Amino acid sequence: MNTKRPAPDFHEIAVVGGGPAGIMAAIRAAQLGKDVVLLERNSSIGRKIMITGKGRCNLTNSADMDEFMSKFGKNGQFLRSAFYAFFNEDLMDFFRKNGLGVKVERQGRVFPSDDRSASVVKVLEKSLKENNVPVMLDARVMGILNDSGMFSLKLDSGAEVLAKKVILATGGASYKATGSSGDGFHLAKLLGHKFNPLRPGLVPLKTREKFAAEMMGLTLKNIKVAFESEGKKIVSEVGELLFTHFGVSGPLVLDLSAQVVALLDGKKPVYISIDLKPGLTAEQVDNRILRDIGEHGSISIKTLLKEMLPVKMVPVFAKLLKLDTAKRINQLTAAERRGIAGLMKSFVLTITEPLPLEEAMVTCGGIPVKDIDPRTMGSRIVPGLYFAGEIIDASAASGGYNLQQAFSTGYLAGESAANA
Ligand SMILES: Cc1cc2nc3c(=O)[nH]c(=O)nc-3n(C[C@H](O)[C@H](O)[C@H](O)COP(=O)(O)OP(=O)(O)OC[C@H]3O[C@@H](n4cnc5c(N)ncnc54)[C@H](O)[C@@H]3O)c2cc1C
C-alpha cells in the first residue's frame, strides 16, 4: 500500500475565493506573469454575481471618483488607490474588450447590455482561461499557516496548497448558499488578524406595526423617509419604499439600513417617518382637501382618500385616523382633515430589527481598513497576505458600488502581490 501523501501543490500566489474580487486578483496577477491559483469552494465561480441586480448584475456605477468614495462613508478614502488602479471606466472597457457591451441606466447604474449576470460570469471565466489561471473548484480552504514566509493552505479534501503570497477574497457572511459564509474572517484570525463585528448592511427592516403587512407589495414612489431615535435623525433623498409582510424594504430603506442598524444598537426605539408628499407642506395638503370639499363636497371620504393615496393605504389611514369613510367629505371635522394631512406628511412605523445578516445584500464589518495598506491591499500584520472585496470593512449603498469595490481591490491586490 502506498502511504505517501501527495506532494503539496505550490504556486507563487494563491487566491482564496472565486467571486469578483478573487477572480480579478487572479487575472491581474497572471497578466503580470505570475504563477497564480484560484481556489473556490463551490463547483463553479461567481455564484453571488449570478444573483446580483436581480439577475441583471449592476456591475458598477458611472459616478465620478469623489461621489464613488462618498458612498463608502468614512472608509471611502481607503479605496482611493484601488479606484485609481482600476475604476469604473476600466471595468467597462474590460467587459467591452471581452465582447460584452454595457449600458448606463438611471442613477448611473451600469448593467451588461444583455441584462444577464451569467454573461458577466462567462467573461470572467474566459479571461481566467486566456490568462492561464488554474481554477481549483470544490476546494474549500479550511485552515492556513504562515511559516518562514511560506503559506500552507489546508483544503477540506485534506490536500495542501503552498504559496508565497495569499489573497483572501472570501466575501462577507450573507447569502451563505452562494459560498460566502464568513470563512475568510476565521482564516485571517488564524494568521493573527482581528475583525470588526459583522452586521447586516443593505438589509430590509422589520416593523412592530402589523399594518405594514396589510400593504405588502405596495411600492411608494417619489417619497422621502426619515429615521429617528433619541434626537438623532437620518433623512433620505426622494425615492422608493416597499412594504413587505414583515416591514419595509426598497432602495430608500436598504441604502440607509446600515446607519439604522447602528441606531438600533443603542437599544432605543427607532421610528421611520414616511413623507408621502415631499413637495408640499402639511398646510398645502390640508388646503387641497379644503378645495375638494368646496368643489365636490358630496363625495365620500373613501373616494377622497383613494384620490390622494395608493388603494392599499386607504383602509390603513381610515383605521389609524378612526374615520368613517362612508361619510361625505363635507362632514369631515377640521381635526379629521388635519389628521389626514398630518399622516400624509408623517406616516410613522416603529423599526424593531433588521432581517438577519444572512439576508443582507452586504456584510458590514470585517477586516478593519487600518490593518490594510490602502496602496497595496497588503496586510499590515502579516507580510505576503492581501485582502480584496467584501471581506474588507468597506461597503456602500446599492448602485453598483460594491461590485466595483470588489473588482478594484481585487485588481490592486493581484497587482501588488505580483509586484512585491
Ligand atoms: C442578492 C444580492 C444582490 C446584489 N446585487 C448587487 C448589485 O447589483 N451590484 C453590486 O455592486 N453589488 C451587489 N451585491 C453585493 C455584491 O454581490 C458583493 O459585494 C460582491 O459579490 C462581493 O464580492 P467578493 O468577491 O468580495 O465576494 P463574493 O462574491 O461573496 O465571493 C466570495 C467567494 O469566495 C468563496 N469562498 C468563501 N469561503 C471560501 C473558502 N473557505 N475557500 C474557498 N472559497 C471560498 C465563495 O464561495 C465565493 O465564491 C449584491 C449582493 C446580494 C446578496
Distance 19 CA to ligand 1 centre (A): 5
Residue 315, domain extent: 204-354
Distance 117 CA to ligand 1 centre (A): 13
pLDDT, average across residues 147-156: 95
Which of 354, 385, 406 finishes a domain?
A: 354
Same domain, yes or no: 377 and 338: no
Judged by average pLDDT, the poorest of 2-6, 30-34, 307-311 is 2-6
Whether the CB of 53 sits within 6 Å of ligand 1: yes
Same domain, yes or no: 42 and 122: yes
Residue 2 pLDDT greater than 70, yes or no: no
Whether the CB of 179 sits within 6 Å of ligand 1: yes
Which of 330, 354, 378 finishes a domain?
A: 354
Same domain, yes or no: 192 and 234: no
Q: Which residue has the higher pLDDT, 126 or 265?
A: 126
Residue 272 pLDDT greater than 90, yes or no: yes
Nearest residue CA, atom 13 of ligand 1? 52
Q: Considering the chain, what is the average pLDDT of its residues?
A: 96
Q: Which residue has the higher pLDDT, 369 or 8?
A: 369
Q: How confident is the model at residue 413 (pLDDT cuts 50, 70, 90)?
A: very high
Q: How confident is the model at residue 395 (pLDDT cuts 50, 70, 90)?
A: very high
DSSP string computed for 13-76: EEEE--SHHHHHHHHHHHHTT--EEEE-SSSSS-HHHHHGGGGT---EE---HHHHHHTTGGGT
Nearest residue CA, atom 8 of ligand 1? 53
Residue 160 maps to a domain? yes
Whether the CB of 366 sits within 6 Å of ligand 1: no
Q: What is the DSSP letter of 258?
A: H
Same domain, yes or no: 299 and 408: no
320-344 pLDDT, tens digit each: 999 999 999 999 999 999 999 999 9
Residue 266 pLDDT greater than 80, yes or no: no
Nearest residue CA, atom 52 of ligand 1? 361
Atom of ligand 1 nearest to the CA of 52: 5
Residue 73 maps to a domain? yes
Whether the CB of 251 sits within 6 Å of ligand 1: no
31-49 pLDDT, tens digit each: 999 999 999 999 999 999 9
Amino acid at 347: F
Which of 307, 334, 354 finishes a domain?
A: 354
Mutation probe of ligand 1 site: the residue of 54, 355, 402, 404 with most atoms within 8 A of C-beta: 402
Q: What local confidence, expressed as pLDDT, does residue 219 receive?
A: 97
Same domain, yes or no: 324 and 408: no
Atom of ligand 1 nearest to the CA of 45: 49
Residue 162 pLDDT greater than 90, yes or no: yes
Same domain, yes or no: 277 and 158: no
Same domain, yes or no: 210 and 153: no
Residue 98 pLDDT greater than 80, yes or no: yes
Residue 2 maps to a domain? no
Half-sphere exposure of 12 (CA within 13 A, CB side): 16
| Burial category of 70 from C-beta neighbours within 10 Å (exposed 0-12, middle 13-18, buried 19 and up) | middle
Whether the CB of 204 sits within 6 Å of ligand 1: no
Same domain, yes or no: 330 and 266: yes
Q: What is the DSSP letter of 176?
A: G
Same domain, yes or no: 248 and 333: yes
Atom of ligand 1 nearest to the CA of 42: 47
pTM equals: 0.92
Nearest residue CA, atom 3 of ligand 1? 52
Cell triple for 174: 450573507
Distance 87 CA to ligand 1 centre (A): 19
What SS3 class is residue 322? coil
Please state, as a whole number, how many other Cβ atoms lie within 10 Å of the Cβ of residue 73. 14
Q: What local confidence, expressed as pLDDT, does residue 4 receive?
A: 61
Q: How confident is the model at residue 265 (pLDDT cuts 50, 70, 90)?
A: confident
Same domain, yes or no: 346 and 252: yes
**Percentage of the chain modeled with pLDDT above 90:** 95
Q: How many residues does the chain have?
A: 420
Whether the CB of 171 sits within 6 Å of ligand 1: yes
In the numeric block, the cell 437620518 is attached to 234
